[in-house]
Amino acid sequence: MKHQSFNARAVLLMALACIAQIAWSHEGHMHQHGAQAPAEAAAMTRPVKLTETQLLDQDGRKLRLASDAVAGKVVVVSFVYTNCADTCPMVSHTFSQVQEQLGALMEDRVRLLSLTVDPARDTPERLKEYAASFHPQRGWLWLTGQPANVTAAQRAFGVTIRNPENHPAQILVGDPKSGRWTRIYEVDRPQQVLEKVNELLAAQHADKQAALDGTAREQCTAHPHSAGVQAKPGCVAQPG
């Protein structure tokens, strides 16, 4: 009986995601509870300033937001709650598609974070049951915690949420190392999310390469005029 109930719930969530996607396309991408347009949602946001707020993941593990949950990786963040019947299933479906496309990059370089906006009801157990419908793999964390801590985490991501039923429909993509963050309001477009993730990963690679090139130049010119010092491999000897 429990297995049948679980399957029925999974089917219902996926159906809701499809229905929400159709509604989203035909109603100007508005959140159906609060009718919140992107411009209005943007007014509720502030710069991202990560903190060490303690949260719980879907397995009940204690995690610090900055050090443990974000952990210096490129992150994709959504704001959801398990009683949500419209945009939340759609956003989570988008995350499942992003997860599939990222493949081996998940956890190694990228994390997905689904942060509840209803911590009073969304316990780790409830989040885990809800998340099962979207098949989260390693690297996709569902986060909750004490209400004050969840509020602090929301604010760290630059979001103010006073009522779960009127929370901003958005996906936040960012790199804590570079401080590059982007808010995406068309939450039914996984390809747009993937493009931003790939852009950040490419920027990380470019930054790393530039740092390595700078180090190499410093090493090549460390002793440009020292007698008897030969050029290091990969360096061009300069006249003394």
Rounded CA-CA distance 74/66 in Å is: 12
Q: Coil, helix or strand for 226?
A: coil
Is the pTM above the cut of 0.85?
no
Domains and CATH numbers, the chain: 2-207 (3.40.30.10)
User: Quick one: pLDDT at residue 220?
Assistant: 59
User: Quick one: pLDDT at residue 167?
Assistant: 84
Which residue ranges of the chain lie beneath pLDDT 70?
A: 1-45, 215-240
Query: Residue 51 is which amino acid?
Result: T
Question: To 10 degrees, what angle do helices 87-102 and 190-220 make?
Answer: 40
User: Quick one: pLDDT at residue 123?
Assistant: 98
